[in-house]
Structure 1
Amino acid sequence: MSSPNGSRAQKMRLPLFTQKGQLEVPTPSEKDWSKDDEEGYVFKDPHQELDSLPQPFRMINKLVNLLFDRAWEIVEERDSLREVELSRIRPTLYPPVLESKLSKRPRCIAVSQDYVFIAGAKGFSIYNLHDARQIYVYEKFKVEVMSIWATDLGNETLMAPVDEMGVVRLFYLCKDGLFFIKTINEVDDTSKQTICVRMDISHGGDFAAFLIQGAGDTWLDVYKLPKESWAKEVEHPQLAVNPKKKAKQPQMDVSICYLGEVKLSLPVQIMKIKPPKPITGSPFKSPLEVFAKIEGCYGLGSGQNHVIKDSQWEQQTAIFNATYRKYLDGEWEEEPLSMATFHFLFPSCLTMMPTEVKSPPGVASVLGVHWTGRHNFFLYSLNRTLKDKVDPEGVWPCAAPIAVSQLSDCGSYLVLACEDGVLTLWDLAEGLPLGVIALPEGCSCQSIHFLKYFLVHDGRNVYPEGPVKSQMSCVVLCTDTSLHLVTATGTQGPTVSMLVERPVKHLEEALCAVAPVPALPGMVLTFARNSSVRLLDVARLHVVCAFAPPEPYHLAVPWKPVFAVSLHHPFFLLRGDHPDGDSDTPSSVFYFDFDSCSLLEDVSKSCFIPQADLNLNDLTAAGFPQALPLERRCESVLQKRFQKLENKVKEQEHWTRLRRYSLLLQRENVRK
């Protein structure tokens, strides 16, 4: 006989429905079932027992179970992430070497030579780069400074802060003091105030361009800067300064004095460029009339000189609206103002201007401009006056609208990135295209950063001291936060490789900013959304180390970090914010020295290698002409061909001949 416990266990292992007492086999017919036996059945399935609950208890039970299941999934995911994080090799973290405490959170930082410019509430401050000592404080603005542009002029610095109202001012900083030059767009009537959206200063400080917006319009103002006159006018500034005013300097250990009373020569405006007009119907009746009425060949290809009628444009518009009507229904958004990106280019075979114009070597002669949503890259000569007619001397058309463009620091290379992810690489110094390459599918360019060309020699990255021609490399940050390395040579096609993939699970690791480090060959700083700042070696795809401000400081806006990298010294600056503060609370700017890091010690001091120490493979990779006799011969042949061809003169002769022939054909048509 079985025990009671055994029978109970046996009962628990029975199917869903069991009967109290003796077990009988029910009859096949439903009519023969006894209604009294229904009370003898017991529910043993726990799930069906819960389903028998009345509402709303069943709904509450399902929600509670769903909540527990989701919580358990989150716990498991966090536990797996913690295990992965513990197993991951973390880079060495280095703290800052210096700190500058500020009374308010600065919006921007700029570095030029040995000076650091930090934006303030009503002006800016100047600090020493090496010891973080405050040199001078300028607080004469009415509003806060939003951005600062600083350019080296040899031993001097040209600085242009832009305040919250969009007003831009020019300052000249030298060993004798700080001089105020001019306010570019300040007006007496605030209702007519214009704002400076973007600016750029040519390499060497000969020209400056400002993108201005106001009254629903956008235009580009270009100025010629008299830097030679400034150098002469600041030789004896004490003759024009009131000594009483000079004595009212801030009570600090200053080495710079403000000499605003000294009047320097004003910049001369030479151009005012407006966005290109939309393409409209042509009044020309035939191509012969186009050639006959256009005075010169400059600007041909901009899309304006065509023979498409208004009726044809209207017909195409009607077809487009009919095809995409379901997508076009609804309210139309107001079209934003057109934005321009511009670069100052040196004279070359690709940017050659009219023969009567001669620019000194090392001085920009051409302004390259492209507008948002446009396919063309316009070239304007800088050797003109404001009274001259502003027409582009050259136009480079692209297959898709240009999204991003970037010029290298040396001015030798230009990259045009279109909206379809195609990059066009130009060698302006040699007058040759380096190739066209497309980013991986789904990637669109967000920013381009040039790297100074480097080699990997004996396991370390070095800069060759000898001249290197037609060798460029740049990192491209895409809109999907992936990072790519693009390289090109004069004899081989361009290549693209992945440096950092787009994060799929951990979105907080997505990159938001990239900055090359000129003092370290092949190194870039990467800024992620989780506030991490890392130094990446692009040659080995290796994170060398990381940097972070001391606790409790952090990056308040990690997706838009405020930092500055020195071009000539192994320093970079980073703004750190207190976790309990806002924009009006004290903040700090931290100084990081690469030479103070044990992994980077003396890297910046021994980053150059003589040409004699490089082996043949290194020379071949670098493209030195003496190591490549065949390629050198090809380059010399091309150079001789370029020297023999007087491009613009012959183009003008052909154009004159074509105009005469067009007029002759028109006369013959009229006679017939």
Structure 2
Amino acid sequence: MSSPLARRAQKMRLPFLTQKGQLEVPSPTEKDLLKEDAGVCVFKDPHEELHSLPQPYRMINKLVNLLFDQSWEIIEERDRLREAELSRVQPTIYPPVFQSKLNNVPNCMAISQDYVFIGGAKGFSIYSLYNAKQIYVWDKLKVGVTSIWATDLGTEVLVAPVDGMGIIRLFYLYKDGLFFIKTINEADDTSKQMPCINLEISYGGDFAAFLLQGAGDTWLDVYKLPKESWLKEVEHPQVTTNPKKKVKQPQLNTLDPMASDNLEMDVNVCFRGDVKLSVPVHIMKIKPPKPITGTTFKSPLEVFAKVEGCYGLGSGHNHFIKDSQWEQQAAIFNAMYKESLDGDSEEGPPSMATFHFLLASCVIQMPAEVKSPSGVAGVIGVHWMGHHNFFLYSLNRTLKDKVEPEGVWPCAAPIALSLLSCCCSYLVLACEDGVLTLWDLAKGSPLGVVALPEGCVCQSIHFLKWFVVHEGRNVYPEGPVTSQVTCVVLCTDASLHLVAASRTQGPTIRTLVERPAKHPDEAVCAVAPVQPLPGMVLVFSRNGSVHLLDVAGPQIVCGFAPPRPFHLAAPWKPVFVVSAHQPYFLLRGDRPDGAEATSEARDIPKSVFYFHFAAYPLLEDISRNCSIPQADLPGSASWPQALSLEERCESFLQKRFQKLEHQVKEQEHWTRLRRYSLLLQRENVKK
């Protein structure tokens, strides 16, 4: 008789011998086994027995095997990740230097000069940037502040909070006083309320634009800000008080329940509701471009005869095409893409616009009689969602003037994003097909055109101050440098790219962070440049990590994290702000929910953490020695230097004079062409 172990070994043979009837393990002495059992033995695959199982056992078996295989793959992947993490050199993680404990949820933050503005549940708070001390709280709203802007006006700050209803208010911060200016879009009837979905304030605070949308309509309101009048009015205030109604000062919110009432004596800023400031002047209302329709002109001669000025044709926004031509093109398009268009509804009016305040330069055509002060915005550039054109409107107009663009820059594809540098000298237009156009507005010519890798769609663009690598470290060249631009592009697939261009060579593109195909939790969701550190950007990942990336490497320098048990509640949309001039950045941290939270953390729902780059040993030397004279750099003689103000004015005047001469000649040719078209029309009528 065979043993149980021998019978088990016989069954595990692949393929094994199966007998019809009862199976026994034959002794090795039987020589004619195959001859005797040839008629009763068959060869079978062991998996065939599983396939022959009845339902639902066959399906259950497949699901169990699939679950086992997937679980085993996950286990192996975790082991590989654990081994890779152990072998990888972990960057140094730095804690914050200050912590602001808040009563309400900080929805948004902004930094201007030495102040930090935090939008909360019923208003906004003002803090000191250097010690995280609360200076003032303005909390008169019924809804929370969702976004806040703070613009430096020199010694003053213009604050623009937007609440949850889309209502925007303007405040003026001067020394120890906070002044209310005006509510821009508040309506008595809530059904007619036009929420503000975007705003922009010009460099220097001379103009402001607000994108309003509601009730199926969208437009852009442009205001001129009387900042000179504001300064005079706050220095020599004219107090207008009402004896029947006392101005109630808002109370300061503190976290210390034992704080006494005399805490208001330590407040450095007070609200001056008794002083009225001049309101902004509405100068322009820009609506989305109308869809192109056919012209009523019957012949080209009629077009030349009735259009005034030689700039009416070919300027990007005056096209004379017949209705029949549009119908033919629409029929061809619908026939070619019939399958893709089935079931699609008609697109509504454009709901989003991006706009920038540009300085007057030779690339922007302006009327000869318009004179704009140096350093003051003279043009607003607008592009609407889904449109190919970038429109340029002059800011030297009144509300009675007809709103027409002075210039149009057409693009080959719809413009998805655009960004203006902080110095207003460079502009980037990113199209939906992944093509980026870099413009040097000061020189009046493009620096180049570059295409992102195939499949990458631009999500955000960030300018970096021009830097060079000298003796293994990143430094800023001292003195002005022209026609040199560097920007970081974050794509929708979480890949990060560095784009650089200069006058002497064409644009280049380099990948900094690849798309995380196997580890989606490491995907980059936000990027912020750090101006005090040359060539450095903050990178926020979906797993909640915050790292400082050196784009010259590229390599991770260090990391930042709030103290435990705080973490980022929404890592894919972090709430942070980076100072443009001081080595600080602020990050919102949330306490964990559940048993992990300590008693102290439960009492403080939200906190804002202050990180100071110069306070960390690894970054202290970089922040202090971040510039170098251009004479010490190799090849400094070939660097493009910025011209002096007199040389720039002389060059601009010469180019302007040459352009005026060319315009006079074009106008003469246009006049002759109009006369000839009128003559031909008269002869056609006589015939």
TM-score in terms of structure 2 length: 0.88
Contact between 2:305 and 2:678, CA under 8 Å: does it hold in 1? no
Give the number of aligned pairs.
653
Q: How far off its partner does 1:456 sit? A: 1.5
Q: Secondary structure at the match of 2:624?
A: coil
Q: How far off its partner does 1:299 sit? A: 6.6
Give the aligned residue type for 1:367. I
Contact between 2:316 and 2:409, CA under 8 Å: does it hold in 1? no
Closer, same or farther in 2 for the Cα pair 1:531/1:221, shift >3 Å? same
Residue number in structure 2 paired with 1:629: none
Q: Distance in 2 between matches of 1:135 and 1:321?
A: 62
Q: Distance in 1 between matches of 2:176 and 2:663?
A: 51
Give the aligned residue type for 1:326. E
Q: How far off its partner does 1:419 sit? A: 1.0
Q: Distance in 2 between matches of 1:379 and 1:423?
A: 19
Residue number in structure 1 paired with 2:131: 131
Q: Does 1:528 align with 2:541?
A: yes
Q: Does 1:328 align with 2:341?
A: yes
Give the aligned residue type for 1:617. G
Closer, same or farther in 2 for the Cα pair 1:17/1:298, shift >3 Å? same
1:296-348: CA deviation from partner (whole Å, max 9, x where unpaired): 45575465533321122112212222222222222526536332111111111
Q: Distance in 1 between matches of 2:640 and 2:671?
A: 45
Residue number in structure 2 paired with 1:658: 670
Q: Secondary structure at the match of 1:234?
A: helix
Q: Secondary structure at the match of 1:143?
A: coil
Q: Distance in 2 between matches of 1:120 and 1:345?
A: 32
Q: Distance in 1 between matches of 2:319 and 2:145?
A: 46
Residue number in structure 2 paired with 1:256: 269
Contact between 2:313 and 2:319, CA under 8 Å: does it hold in 1? no
Q: Does 1:442 align with 2:455?
A: yes
Closer, same or farther in 2 for the Cα pair 1:462/1:316, shift >3 Å? same
Residue number in structure 2 paired with 1:153: 153
Q: Secondary structure at the match of 1:666?
A: helix
Q: Distance in 2 between matches of 1:193 and 1:663?
A: 52
1:2-31: CA deviation from partner (whole Å, max 9, x where unpaired): 998998799677941256466644589x9x
Q: How far off its partner does 1:105 sit? A: 1.9
Q: Distance in 1 between matches of 2:91 and 2:276?
A: 53
1:142-193: CA deviation from partner (whole Å, max 9, x where unpaired): 2110000111001110010000000011110010310000111001111100
Contact between 2:310 and 2:666, CA under 8 Å: does it hold in 1? no
Of 310, 322, 331, the match for 2:323: 310
Q: Distance in 1 between matches of 2:485 and 2:308?
A: 39
- Tell me whether 355-364 or 232-241 shows the greater mean CA deviation: 232-241
Give the aligned residue type for 2:568. L
Q: Does 1:16 align with 2:34?
A: no
Closer, same or farther in 2 for the Cα pair 1:16/1:194, shift >3 Å? same
Q: Distance in 2 between matches of 1:8 and 1:605?
A: 80
**Structure 2 unaligned residues grouped into runs of 5+:** 253-262
Residue number in structure 2 paired with 1:671: 683
Of 474, 490, 495, the match for 1:482: 495
1:27-426 superposed matches below 5 A: 47=47, 54-237=54-237, 239-240=239-240, 245=247, 250=252, 251-252=263-264, 253-297=266-310, 300-301=313-314, 303-330=316-343, 332=345, 335=348, 337-426=350-439
**Structure 1 unaligned residues grouped into runs of 5+:** 627-631
Q: How far off its partner does 1:227 sit? A: 0.5
Q: Distance in 2 between matches of 1:557 and 1:649?
A: 59
Closer, same or farther in 2 for the Cα pair 1:113/1:284, shift >3 Å? same
Q: Does 1:455 align with 2:468?
A: yes
Contact between 1:448 and 1:477, CA under 8 Å: does it hold in 2? yes
Q: Distance in 2 between matches of 1:221 and 1:149?
A: 17
Contact between 1:298 and 1:392, CA under 8 Å: does it hold in 2? no
Residue number in structure 2 paired with 1:591: 610
- Tell me whether 557-566 or 99-108 shows the greater mean CA deviation: 99-108
Q: How far off its partner does 1:460 sit? A: 1.6
TM-score in terms of structure 1 length: 0.90
Contact between 1:298 and 1:393, CA under 8 Å: does it hold in 2? no
Closer, same or farther in 2 for the Cα pair 1:275/1:51, shift >3 Å? closer
Give the aligned residue type for 2:551. V
Q: Secondary structure at the match of 1:519?
A: coil
Residue number in structure 1 paired with 2:630: 611
Closer, same or farther in 2 for the Cα pair 1:144/1:299, shift >3 Å? farther
Q: How far off its partner does 1:562 sit? A: 0.6
Q: Distance in 2 between matches of 1:615 and 1:526?
A: 29
Q: Distance in 2 between matches of 1:127 and 1:3?
A: 88
Q: Distance in 1 between matches of 2:313 and 2:326?
A: 21
Give the aligned residue type for 2:384. W
Q: How far off its partner does 1:127 sit? A: 0.3
Q: Distance in 1 between matches of 2:364 and 2:35?
A: 100
Give the aligned residue type for 2:663. E
